[in-house]
Structure 1
Amino acid sequence: MATNSSLKNQIANKGNGNQNTPQGYTVKQLMSASSVKNRFEETLGKKAPQFMASVINLVNGDTNLQKCDQMSVVSSAMVAAALDLPIDKNLGYAWVVPYGNKATFQMGYKGYIQLALRTGQYKNINVIEVYEGEVKSFNRLTEEIELEFEGKESDKVIGYVGYFELINGFRKTVYWSKDEIERHKKRFSKTGFAWKDNYDAMAKKTVIRNMLNKWGILSIDMQTAVTTDGNAVTQDFEQEDSGLVIDAEFSEVNEASEGQQEIKFENADA
């Protein structure tokens, strides 16, 4: 296992950077290590340089991420790369966010929709906010909901509804009231950081994630996303003759994900 000293020596000449990060080297320096570059290139092919540049730009524009363990930033970004999802905050597919002194990988609801569509099993899938006056009827047992969009009385959001239809004809609709969303947030979100500026997006993700996990067809990528979403990711960096090597295999994932990357993680925001 590489020590902090060996890691620093290995990338000492890869760039100047800010030496005030927890390990004394920056994400830009880590990205310049040949083994890290090779791993992203193996995963993303020709898209790797653009993705790696987006990670560096993300950290440069976020002082909170700059204070995090930069190795955890790279590890979280690698999860997004493995799922082939961009980490641009404005796109809403996936995020790398700070949690204490670690970076965490966060799926966006658009990311779940994207992974579902890639399976080829979903004909339609969506999640929307529901406004005051739009719910005409709701059966809590069957979860059948009738919405009347013309009945909207105000811009007050009272809940969120998710829906999907498989190509085999199976359909599912779920409705979460605002109170249910709030209870979920208080129970599972340890910091509330991701919810602070992205409440609607996080609420929609909560609905669609739980709907797909309970009723949907999950590909290996979708199982990986559900398992790693909202967790502080760490990966082992090892010293070999060829340089810095990342041990990238998932652990604690569904058995159907066997053969994927092994990642150790700690609970963070849900």
Structure 2
Amino acid sequence: MAKPEDIKKQLAKKVNAVQEKPKTFGEQFKNYLAKIAPSVKTVLPKQFDTERFLRIALSEVRRNPQLSQCSIESLGGAIMQSAILGLEPGLHGYAYLVPRWNSKAGRFDAEFQIGYKGYIDLAHRTGKVAFITAEIVYEDDYFEFQYGTNQKLIHKPNIESEKYGDPEYAKKYYAYIKFKDGSEQFKVITKKQALRHAQRFTTSKNKEGELVGPWKTDFDAMALKTAIKLLFKTVQVSTEFQQQIAKDETIANDPDNVQSVYEVIDMEQTEQEQMPK
């Protein structure tokens, strides 16, 4: 039979364990970031500071309360995806952490999304792109385009118009790319087409099936991203680029596995480079 002193010690240990356990999701997530920091540092491009990157990730989670409803593992996976690609999540539009309802698990998971600026950044890194841009056409702008053998794209923004820069008067979105070999291509979509694309293809929806995340808070940026994605379906940049953008709108509940997947890709590329011709 246990002695009273032993029982008191056991109770004290349990009380201390409860007291030491983080009381808020923010504290739990902060501790989790400290845990995965070494892995993030390993995959993060050298020009990035790990502490700053993790602070940005923490700020993004604090900024969007719904992310606190996501599993910590999926948040870690999304942050790892962001780190591997060297795209900071948040308001700058390079990448996003988006809560997505997982009906099978009955919970929210954090989805990693590449922003339109992230697509542009990744395209530039290939070394094959001379110029790439994505622009909004407003109601009073002069805009003319034509596909086919005599394709042309002319956009003269009317910056003096009160409608210029107002999301309410955005009419079209386009992406244009010119490669260093002189070839060029562009894609134009309307606001209705962008919305239809979002409703049909995006997985960033709540329990009721409504759009959430940047499609809700930053429609124009996501419409520009849609134009870029459709553009890249018509041009081939590089195999590595295609592998990178394949991670867009994905969920990874195992940060360590995210890293191993990219290690396999890097290994395959290295082996191909070393193969005798």
Please give the TM-score of this superposition, normalised by the length of structure 2: 0.72
Q: Does 1:249 align with 2:260?
A: yes
User: Greater shift after overlay, 150-159 or 122-131?
Assistant: 150-159
Question: SS at the partner of 2:118?
Answer: helix
User: Of 166, 172, 188, which residue of structure 2 is paired with 1:159?
Assistant: 172
Distance 2:226 2:137 in 1: 15
Partner of residue 64, structure 1: 66
Question: SS at the partner of 2:96?
Answer: strand
Distance 2:49 2:38 in 1: 12
Partner of residue 145, structure 1: 153
Partner of residue 232, structure 1: 251
Distance 1:55 1:136 in 2: 39
Kindly indicate which of the two structures has a greater share of residues assigned to helix. Answer: 2
> Contact 1:119 / 1:219 at 8 angstroms: preserved in 2?
no
Unaligned regions of 5+ residues in structure 1, if any? 1-11, 237-245, 261-270
User: Could you give the per-residue CA deviations for residues 208-266 of structure 1, whole angstroms, max 9, x where no partner exists?
Assistant: 1221242141351x323321211222227xxxxxxxxx233339xxx9x4648xxxxxx
Distance 1:139 1:205 in 2: 21
Tell me by how many angstroms 1:141 deviates.
4.0
User: Could you give the per-residue CA deviations for residues 17-61 of structure 1, whole angstroms, max 9, x where no partner exists?
Assistant: 34669xxx822222222xx22211211256212212222232233
Q: Does 1:174 align with 2:182?
A: no
Distance 1:151 1:19 in 2: 47
| Aligned-partner residue type, residue 83 of structure 2 | A
Matched-pair identity in %: 25
- CA 1:197–1:203: 2 relative to 1, 3 Å: same
User: Could you give the per-residue CA deviations for residues 166-185 of structure 1, whole angstroms, max 9, x where no partner exists?
Assistant: 11101112111222212211
Aligned Cα RMSD in Å?
A: 2.9
Partner of residue 268, structure 1: none
Unaligned regions of 5+ residues in structure 2, if any? 1-16, 102-107, 206-210, 269-277
Kindly indicate which of the two structures has a greater share of residues assigned to strand. Answer: 1
- CA 1:137–1:32: 2 relative to 1, 3 Å: closer
Partner of residue 107, structure 1: 114
Larger CA Rg, structure 1 vs 2: 2
Partner of residue 129, structure 2: 122
- CA 1:49–1:141: 2 relative to 1, 3 Å: same
Distance 1:18 1:69 in 2: 16
Distance 1:66 1:147 in 2: 42
The size of the alignment, in residue pairs, is 228
Distance 1:20 1:123 in 2: 45
User: Could you give the per-residue CA deviations for residues 68-88 of structure 1, whole angstroms, max 9, x where no partner exists?
Assistant: 10110010000010001111x
| Aligned-partner residue type, residue 64 of structure 2 | D
User: Greater shift after overlay, 44-53 or 170-179?
Assistant: 44-53
